[in-house]
Amino acid sequence: MLATPGKLPEDETAWTFEIKWDGVRALSYVEGGTLQLESRNLLDITPRYPELAALPAGLQGHDAILDGEVVTFDDEGRPSFGRLQHRMHVTDSRQVQHLMVEYPIAYLVFDVLWLDGRSLMAEPLDDRRAALEGLGLDEGGPPWQVSKAFPGQGHALLAATKERGLEGVVAKRRDSTYEPGRRSRCWLKVKNVNRQEVVIGGWLEGSGNRSGRIGALLVGYWEGDRLRFAGKVGTGFTDQVLAGLAERLASLDRPTSPFADPVPWKGAHWVEPVLVADVEFTEWTAAGTLRHPSYKGLRSDKASRDVVREPT
């Protein structure tokens, strides 16, 4: 179940509110003492996060399907999508073991969909939360915990997240059922900063200290069957990130632009529009492009065709 971009609801008493964690979504399937983690595009991501292998023991014999978010934190205790990039694309077990120490993760659980042989998806959110909080997951401590809910406190939580420099909040109707695969208005994401997922359709060569390397990404979003051009992204990269992007894009070369709109830069290198990036920006321009976009990372948990322009 996915959230729809929106504003805080007027009647906050009918809603509960949670921090919008800047991580990646993960469903956990626990049965018979075994664990499988699955991304929102149905990839098995269990090997990437071996510190969650003890989650079945944390459930104290219960079988369950849990919904939550895998997050890393910065030195000030704020979720960092940039740090998570070091974990979310690595599958080699030796590399993962090394990265576990430098970039530890937490699994923040916010819903339970199935428990001990019974589906809870048709139950109201309040009842699912009660079942989740009765599982004793917080007693295990890191690397998992139940994401705290704040019933009726939307404005207060949004103000607190803004003060802390966090992305925003998710509002959920307390009587809502769980609608798998659907972007529902029963869940609303309310942001302090503008974020947009974009499709990489090409790149421009850099100059100066980026000479011979990627200088900027050319990005867009889908509008039906057309990939609309949304501008170029030239900030937010480290040398390591640029090297990784160059390696990923090298195998995706194509001779023509994938964009439906003209791109106002000559000498662009075009790529198949399959990679999805996350960017932060100030606003959409009248021409329909992103103003001052900054690269945050790649999203392996999102299919290119699912990327559309989100309202701000």
Residue 99 to residue 97: CA distance in whole angstroms:
6
Is 194-306 the same fold as 22-146?
A: no
Q: What's the first-to-final CA gap in the chain, in angstroms?
A: 21
CATH no., domain 194-306: 2.40.50.140
Active site residues: 20
Stretch among 68-77, 84-93, 223-232, 253-262 having the lowest mean pLDDT: 84-93
Question: If phi over 0 gives left and psi between -120 and 50 gives alpha, with beta otherwise, what is residue 180?
Answer: beta
Which residues contact residue 2 at a Cβ distance below 8 angstroms, ignoring those fewer than 6 apart? Answer: 40, 182, 183, 184, 187
pLDDT tens by residue, 209-254: 777 789 999 999 999 999 999 999 999 999 889 999 999 999 999 9
If one looks up domain 1-21+149-192 in CATH, what number appears? Answer: 3.30.1490.70
Residues 6+ apart with CB under 8 A from 84: 22, 23, 24, 70, 71, 72, 103, 105, 297
Structure tokens given for 17? 């509110």
Global pTM value: 0.84
Q: For the chain, which residues make up each domain, given as ranges?
A: 1-21+149-192, 22-146, 194-306
CB hemisphere CA count around 105 (13 angstroms): 32
Nearest to 48 by CA among 79, 19, 84: 84
227 has which bridge partners? 222
Q: What is the pLDDT of residues 284-312, one digit of tens each?
A: 999 999 999 999 999 988 899 999 999 87
Q: Kindly indicate whether the domain formed by 22-146 is annotated with CATH number 3.30.470.30.
A: yes
| b/e 194-214 (16+ beta carbons within 10 angstroms → b) | bbbbbbbbbbbebeeebeebb
| Residue 57: φ, ψ to 5° | -65, -35
